Each structure stands twice: as structure tokens, then as C-alpha cells.
Amino acid sequence: MKKVIVFVLSAALACTMLLGCGTPASQSGSGGDRPGAEGTPAANLTLDNITIGFVHITDPSDMGYTYNHDLGTQEMQRTLGLSDDQIINKFNINEGGECLTAIRELIEAGCNIIFATSFGFEDYMLELAAEHPDIVFCHATGYQAADSGLANFHNYFASIYEGRYLAGIAAGLKTESNQLGYVAAFPFAEVISGYTAFYLGAKSVNPDVTMDIMYTNSWHDPTVEAQVTQALIDRGCDVISQHSDSTAPATTAEDNGVWQVGYNNDMIPAAPDASLISTRIDWGVYLTFAVSALIAGEEIPVDWCEGLSEGVVLLTPLNTAIAADGTQGAIDAAFAGIKAGTLQVFAGPLTGEGVNYDGSPAVIDIPEGEFFQESYPGSAPSWIYIIPGCNVIE
């Protein structure tokens, strides 16, 4: 396996801005002996008395991101044998001051550990983690834990780009127009990394494929997602994928007689004649780990990220009724390569241009034989580059 490359012009700045480049998870401490919530020191926490809080941007009815994260909560609850009253969910919380209020309410309710699951929640989590060192705060998709200096604040994510790559193979083999479409939430690293990996997977089996990307500027807006999907179809895209939180891209694709690749949930029930496959994260793995570690007084890494090999990134069953012949075999071969380390998603030769958070240009040029290692040393994605063949439509 060749040397990892993360460089060129502003790559170092991108790492600092996007990841808060800090100590790798394997070397980072968490202060496992810190106390729990008032009246319940960590040394006295058990599966019988721990209280766990969650802050979500939507609710499970989205059938997407929050639905999938809530499946992880249910998995953790079953695995650890927790009662319903030990888990407090705050659903439909926006990424503004309402988040601060929701977290404070969880603190007042006696939560020993609080999970927040949307990118825009991080600053509020940081503020209250600093005020309450006796409570553990875990934030999905964020990047600031390593530089926060807070022993009780953690980031977690998964190597979903690996699943995106495999799902892209299904799209690349299915397309007839060689033009894919992608419904993207925001121009953030998490989203750009995902659609780049999806495109690279498609291109690995179909060198002629291109992809149009349109942003919704929302994590969850079924109306806009449907409109963007329709616009992409009108441009000639015959396979649609998404980083958005509803089933609208799937159902709109089916209404138009084209195909779709989903995220967070198996979309076949919603669109059986369109949905090829989906990729999702099993959040229950981390949730179970973090709660168990807190009770045991063990380390929770500052950054945690696992993928296909660990069973954290998953593919839903392939829709063999509509998938192209040979799709499952191609996916299986790529999965084996990722697991063995012989296939790197962001492998050279690969070039791209992007924009850092401060508005400065970012450029990357990875030569053949080297690769960009995503989600390291932080857990959040850091790929911000638009590569040839990916066309962002304004």
C-alpha cells in the first residue's frame, strides 16, 4: 500500500479548518474517570441508572438520516437492555438557538451523555460541554473536538465514502445516458466527499460517465429535493443519487422512469422500479460503544470513525430486478479490495479544485500510486475538491 498523500497549496489549511487536525483517535484520551451528571458520579453509573439524550434535526418520519440514526438508538437500547425512560430524544431541532435550549433541557433532565447528530449543532455542543465537564458530549459529523481542549467532547462519524463508492458501481453499470445526477444538501466536505466517492465508483466501471450536482441548501426539504431531482432528469441524468434526507429523489426518479441510488435507508419500498441500492451507517455500533465505555470508565476517543470492514458502513440489498447484470459481482470485488487495502477510494491520478471555509482556493493533485486518506486524523470527511467529470450546476 502506497504512501498517503494529503497536500497541495491549501491542503494543510483545509485540514485545519475541516478536521481540526489533532491527535489520532488511537492516541487520544477522554478522561474516562471524570464524573457523570450531578448526583451520579461516573464511578456509580450503571446500565440501570444512566440517562442518555439525543438532539436530532428532523424526526424518524423523514425515512432518511434521522430515521437511520434513530435505528442506531434502538439498536443500542436493545443491546444494552435500557428502558425507554433512560433515553430522551429531542426531534425537529433546528441548527440555531433552539439547539442550545434542547441541550440545556437534556442537561436539566439529568443526562449523563448527550449525542447531537447534525453538523450545525457542534458550536452549541461545545459551548455547553465547556460549562458542564461532568457530562459527556458526542457530536456526529463535526470536526472541532480535537482542538477543543475539552476532555468531555467527542466527534464521531463513519467511512461512508466507502459505501458511496460501492453504490456508485451500481449506477455506473446501469446508466444508459452516461449522465448521473446528484441531489446534494450543502457544499460541505461531508457532502462533497460523498458524491466524489460515488462518482469514482461509477467511473471505475464506466469510464465515460459524468455527473451533474445540484444543491438544495437544506438537509431535509422533500419539495426542493423533488424539484432538484426533476431538474437533473430534465438535463438528461438517468440515475439519481442523493445526500438529502427524504425519499423524494427516489419517488421522483420512479415517476420519470429513471433509476435512483439512496442514502440512509433502503429506498426499494418507496420506489421499487427505480431504487437500485442504498448505503447507510449503522450508528448503533458507536452509540453502544460510547455508552458502554462511559459506564466502564474507559476511553472514548476524541475522534471515532469506522467503515465497511468493521460493519459500520452497510449496503442495502441490491434490487436485482432492475440492476444491470454483473452488478453484485463488481460490488463484491470492490468491497474485497477496500477491505484488503488494495483499493483506495481517493486514489491517484486524481486532481481537483475546491474552496476552503475562509473562501481561499484549494487545489489537490494526487499522482498515480498515492492516495488521499479520508477521515483521518479526524473523523469527519475533509475532501473538498471538485474533480473532472463532476459538474456543479448553479
121 and 86 share a domain? yes
Q: Is 40 strand, coil or helix? A: coil
The yes-or-no verdict on residue 304 having pLDDT over 70 is yes
Claim to verify: residue 321 and residue 220 sit in the same structural domain? yes
> 336 and 389 in one domain?
yes
Average pLDDT over residues 213-231: 96
The CA distance from 214 to 231, in Å, is 9
What is the per-residue pLDDT across 313-331, written as a single tens digit (0 to 9) for each? 999 999 999 999 999 999 9
* Contact (Cβ atoms closer than 8 angstroms) between residue 306 and residue 158: yes
Q: How far apart are CA 56 and CA 344, in angstroms?
A: 32
Contact predicate 316/167, CB 8 Å: no
Domain of residue 330, CATH code: 3.40.50.2300
- Is residue 3 a part of any domain in this protein? no
Q: Given this model, what pLDDT does residue 183 score?
A: 98
In a shared domain, residues 73 and 110? yes
Residue 143 has pLDDT above 50, yes or no: yes
Domain match, 356 and 275 both: yes
pLDDT at 26 > cutoff 60: no
- Report the pLDDT value the prediction gives residue 41, as an integer from 0 to 100: 58
**Span 377-394, pLDDT tens digits:** 999 999 999 999 999 999
Cβ atoms 153, 145 nearer than 8 A: yes
Q: What is the DSSP string of 261-287?
A: EEESS--TTT-TTTEEEEEEE-THHHH
pLDDT-based confidence at 278, cuts 50/70/90? very high
The 10s digit of each residue's pLDDT in 67-101 is 999 999 999 999 999 999 999 999 999 999 999 99
Residue 357 lies in a domain: yes
Per-residue confidence (pLDDT) for residue 34, from 0 to 100: 35
**Predicted local confidence at residue 5, as pLDDT:** 40
User: Which of 123, 74, 134, 67 lies closest to 96, judged by CA?
Assistant: 123
pLDDT at residue 19 tops 50: no
Mean predicted confidence (pLDDT) in 11-25 = 33
Q: Which of 391, 352, 394 lies closest to 212, judged by CA?
A: 391
User: Is 322 domain-assigned?
Assistant: yes
Q: What percent of the chain has pLDDT over 70?
A: 89
Clarify whether residues 185 and 236 are in a common domain: yes
Residue 381 lies in a domain: yes
Task: Answer yes or no: do 139 and 179 share one domain.
Answer: no
Per DSSP, helices labelled H in the chain are: 11-19, 65-80, 97-108, 122-131, 145-148, 160-174, 189-205, 222-234, 248-255, 284-296, 327-340
Q: Give me the mean pLDDT over the 241-264 stretch.
A: 96
Asked, for residue 193, whether it belongs to a domain, the answer is: yes
Cα 384 to its chain centre, rounded Å, is: 14
Which domain does 187 fall in, by range?
Answer: 160-280+314-393
- Do 297 and 251 lie in one domain? The reply is no
Grid coordinates representing 143? 470536526
Number of domains in the chain: 2
Q: With 60 as the cut, is the pLDDT of residue 38 above it? A: no
Q: Please state the rounded mean pLDDT for residues 224-249.
A: 97
The answer to whether residues 269 and 298 belong to one domain is no
What pLDDT score was predicted for residue 354?
97
Nearest Cα neighbor of 2 from 348, 334, 374 is: 348
Residue at 4 is within a domain: no
Within-domain flag for 57: yes
232 and 348 belong to one structural domain: yes
Give the number of residues written for the chain: 394
- Same domain for 318 and 291? no
What is the pLDDT, as a whole number, of residue 33?
Answer: 37
Tell me, yes or no, whether 25 lies in a domain. no
Residues above pLDDT 90, as percent of the chain:
87
Collapsed DSSP state (helix, strand, coil) of residue 305: strand
Average pLDDT on 252-274 reads 97
- For residue 352, what is its C-alpha cell? 481537483
SS3 of residue 259 by DSSP: strand
What pLDDT sits at residue 245? 87
Is pLDDT at 161 greater than 70 in this prediction? yes
Same domain, yes or no: 181 and 321? yes
pLDDT over threshold 60, residue 56 = yes
Location of C-alpha cell 460541554 = 129
Confidence of residue 291 (pLDDT cuts 50, 70, 90): very high
